[in-house]
Every structure is written in structure tokens, then in C-alpha cells.
Amino acid sequence: MKTQPLTTAAYAQSMDAADPLAPFKQQFHFPQHQGQDSIYFCGNSLGLQPKSAEAAIRQELEDWRALAVEGYFKARNPWLYYHTHFTRTLSEMMGSSEAEVTVMNTLTVNLHLILQSFYRPDRQRFRILMEAGAFPSDQYALETLVRLHGFDPADAIVEAAPRAGEKLLRTEDVVALIEEQGSSLALVLMGGINYYTGQYYDIASITEAAHLVGAYAGWDLAHAAGNIPLQLHDWRADFAVWCSYKYLNGGPGAAGGLFVHERHASAPAFPRLGGWWGNDEKVRFKMEKGFVPKAGAEGWQISTAQVFNMVCLKASLEMFQQAGIGRLREKSIQLTAYLETLLKQLPLPCEIITPADPQQRGAQLSLYFPEKGREIHSRMMEQGIICDYREPGVIRLAPAPMYCSFTDVYRFYEVLQNFSA
């Protein structure tokens, strides 16, 4: 059979026809534009609503109405153990044991909590290394953390920045900076994928470098969770946090996630802030003094599972379990490469600043416009292309493989052809 040119609708349709994950697209609600689904390339900010979410919420409302407090034990999905519905799928995504992951709170709350365990500075070892231009919530968390410990952020926070004239971090430069800080370094905290450039950092190499100088290594996986398969246990990351409202489609403000490596999570004496829900279930209802943490990451839980803040995530992760993070990653590589190929056919006044190597990026391409970036973004939105803009001059495009198709990418290309005509 004759292969269709990449710049034709027929090619995109043939790729969709051969895609085993294509049916998942029908399981999501899309914003509408002129009577048809929008082109939604904004899953790196907020994932779409699973159609199964409504029934899932209704189930919990019905159990609350019918059972009240007995819902903790007798609901269709007993609330006492609600967080355990997520551990199998998340452990597969994160490359961990089920005991090393849990769902609780929200991303930055979890970051603040886990930093109480892993940032315990003294006058010799007090510095934290992070990437320059990290997402503001991480910057603010670390800035306020070091101040609470009596340090000046200008001295205590070390930033790894790209070389002059470059927009991406080189792993060897991060490692060299870690080695330079040496015994003054207490912690490395970086985003697994940079929100702005879409660069996927070498978690294994950076973690190893941190450990070699005696520092902990933690990761903000907001843009990696549900996007790229990880191997946090084997890479020996000390901890990681993530949100659930981006690629995981848990809904706005959905509960966040936590990974703690078993060498820490299995140590009851490892420092932490405790709460009733993190206490050993065998003695929890004795209501006695003396915090006895549950084994694993659950020992960092503070409060009762937020059922109505987790229910949509449960609905979404059921689809992730069916699809498999490995198959989603394979499609993501194809989808993002197709988007990149079509963009290069257009005379757009921009530069793709996301790494060209598929192994160094996820489901995102960042387009840097030296001029008129915001104006071009507005024109895209007016044409039913939902994506986002970040200063200075970057439009981020994220075709999430769970619900985006090759035809979506081709439709995007068709619209942009008019821009450059």
C-alpha cells in the first residue's frame, strides 16, 4: 500500500487507524469550538475530564447519603482505604514498589512536608541546588524554607543555569556544580521535566552525583507524572512529589502524590511531621500518645483521604491501567515527533527550544517567539487551539497521548498554515 505524505490528512488518519490507544480519546470531554472538539494541547497545565468522572462522583455522593460515617467501611470504595486504589498504577508509572508511593494533599503542601524530613541543615551542610528558572512554587518553597532555618536564600540556594547562549541544561554542568558544592550541599531539588523548555533531566545521573557528595536528591515530577515512565526506586531518588491535575487528569486541585524510597520509608525513626492518618492502623484507634508511622510512604500522610478530591483521579487512573504507561510513552514519542515535523514545514518566526532527542523530552514542545509570541498565542486560541503561553515568548504545546490524535496534530498544522500564508 502506498504511504501517504506526512503533510496530508490521509497520513494522520492512517496513523490514528493503526493506533491501539485511539479509542481512549472518546472517553474524555473536549471544550467545543464552532461545533467541534477543540485542539487540546494543554494537558501539561490541566488534563481533560474523563467521562467516567461524573458517575464516579455520583457513587461517592450516593454512599455518603446512604451510609454517612459507615461509608468509611461499607462504601463501594471504602473511604478508610481510598488512597490504596492508586498505588498499583502509580507504582508502575514511578518505577517503585507500591509501598513507596501514596496520594495525599497537594503538590506544594507535600513538598513542604517532605522537606521537613530531608532538609536538616547545619552550618557546614546547608545549600540546596535547583535549576534556574524552576516553576515559581518550587522557588518560593525553597526560599521560605531556608529562611525558616536562618539562612539567606542568596547564599543557600544554588542555581544550575544553561550556558551562555543556550536554553537547555547540560547534565555534565549540573554534576560539576554538585561536585563544586561538595560537603556544603544538603539537597538537590529539581523538576523532572522543566515546565518552560520541556527538557527531561537525567534523574539517575544527577541523583547519583548528589549522593556521592552526601546530599539527598528529590524531584518535582509535576510535568513527568503520567507523561514518562520512571524508575525512581532503581535510580535511588530519595523522594519525589507530583500533582495529579496535569497529565494524570485528576481535575483542578486534585490530590498530589508522594514517593519515598524504601530505605527511608521503611525506617520508623526517619524524621517527619506526623498525623493521625500516617499512624500505624493497628494502633490508630487506641487514641494513645506516641506516633507510630505506617510502613512506606503512607507514614507521611497527615489527614483523612480527601475522597472528593481523589475520585476523578481514580477514574482517570483506571484508564491509565488499561492503556499502560509504556504504550502511552511510545505513542507520545510518535505524536510529538509528528508535531515537530509539521512545525518545521511552516515559516513560523520561532525556535523549538525543547530537546530534539525524544529521550530528553516528554509530550511537550516549547516554541520560543522572540517577537509577538503572546499575539500568536491569542490567534491560536481564537482558532480553537488550546495551549498556553509563558513569558518570555514561549508557547507550550502538549499533545497528551491518552486523548490527542494524529488528526489533532494535522488540524493544528492546517490552522497554522493560514497564519503563515
Stretch 21-34: mean pLDDT: 98
Give tens-digit pLDDT for 369-409. 999 899 999 999 999 999 999 999 999 999 999 999 999 99
Whole-angstrom distance, CA of residue 279 vs CA of residue 290:
9
Give a yes or no: residue 25 inside a domain.
Answer: yes
Domain boundary among 268, 302, 320: 320
Residue range 38-47: average pLDDT?
98
Mean pLDDT, the chain, integer: 96
Whether residues 94 and 217 share a domain: the answer is yes
Q: What is the CATH number of the domain that holds 279?
A: 3.40.640.10
Residue 137, pLDDT above cutoff 70: yes
Which residues lie closer than 8 Å to 355 by C-beta, 6 or more apart? 168, 197, 198, 199, 200, 361
* Backbone φ, ψ for residue 126 (5° rounding): -145, -5
Quick check: is 84 in a domain?
yes
Helix axes 325-343, 9-17, angle to 10 degrees: 170
Can you tell me whether residue 242 is helix, strand or coil?
Answer: strand
d(CA 248, CA 325): 11
Q: What is the Cα–Cα distance from 256 to 390, expressed in whole angstroms? A: 23
pLDDT grade for 230, boundaries at 50, 70 and 90: very high
Q: 130 is written with which cell numbers?
A: 535547583
pLDDT tier, 152 (very low <50, low <70, confident <90, very high otherwise): very high
Question: Both 349 and 310 in a single domain?
Answer: no
Is pLDDT above 60 for 1?
no
User: Both 238 and 125 in a single domain?
Assistant: yes
**Is 218 in the same domain as 196?**
yes
Domain hosting residue 380, numbered range: 9-50+324-420
Alpha helices in 285-344 (DSSP H): 307-323, 325-343
- For residue 421, pLDDT beyond 80: no
Report the run of H or E that residue 179 belongs to, with start and end: helix 171-181
| Residue 122 located in a structural domain | yes
Lowest mean pLDDT among 107-116, 183-192, 281-290, 323-332: 281-290
Regarding whether 120 and 206 lie in a shared domain, the answer is yes
The answer to the question of residue 4 being in a domain is no
User: Does residue 203 share a domain with residue 103?
Assistant: yes
Helix/strand/coil for 304: coil
Q: Are residues 414 and 271 in the same domain?
A: no
Q: What is the pLDDT of residue 199?
A: 98
Confidence of residue 242 (pLDDT cuts 50, 70, 90): very high
Residue type, 234: D
- Does residue 2 fall inside a structural domain? no
pLDDT tens readout for residues 269-283: 999 999 989 998 888
What's the confidence (pLDDT) of residue 144?
98
- The answer to whether 280 touches 296, Cβ cutoff 8 Å, is no
Q: Mark whether 119 and 75 lie in a shared domain.
A: yes
Residue 3 within a domain: no
Grid cell 488550546 — which residue? 386
Please state the domain count of the chain. Answer: 2
Q: What's the burial of 17, exposed, middle or buried (CB within 10 Å: 0-12/13-18/19+)?
A: exposed
Query: Mapping DSSP to helix (H, G, I), strand (E, B) and coil, where does residue 361 land?
Result: strand
Q: What percent of the chain has pLDDT over 90?
A: 93
Closest CA to 111 of 125, 128, 97: 128
Convert 280-294 to b/e letters by CB count within 10 Å (16 or more is b): eeeeeeeeeeeebbb
Domain edge (last residue) among 282, 301, 320: 320
According to the model, what pLDDT value does residue 2 have? 54
Shared-domain flag, residues 308 and 347 = no
What is the spatial distance between Cα 237 and Cα 234, in angstroms, rounded to a whole number? 8
Closest CA to 374 of 388, 386, 385, 384: 388
Contact 272, 294 (CB under 8 A): no
The residue to which cell 494524529 is assigned: 406
pLDDT at residue 283, as a whole number: 84
Record the pTM.
0.96
Q: Are 276 and 385 found together in one domain? A: no
Residue 1 domain-assigned (yes or no): no
Please report the pLDDT score of residue 368 as a whole number. 96
Does residue 163 form part of some domain? yes
Query: 342 and 263 in one domain?
Result: no
Q: Are residues 330 and 415 in the same domain?
A: yes
Residue 100 has pLDDT above 50, yes or no: yes
* CATH number assigned to the domain comprising residue 359: 3.90.1150.10
Q: pLDDT-derived band of residue 3, with 50, 70 and 90 as boundaries?
A: low
Alpha-carbon distance 127 to 287, whole Å? 39
Positive or negative, the Cα torsion across 347, 351, 352, 356? positive
Domain boundary (320, 338, 371) is at 320
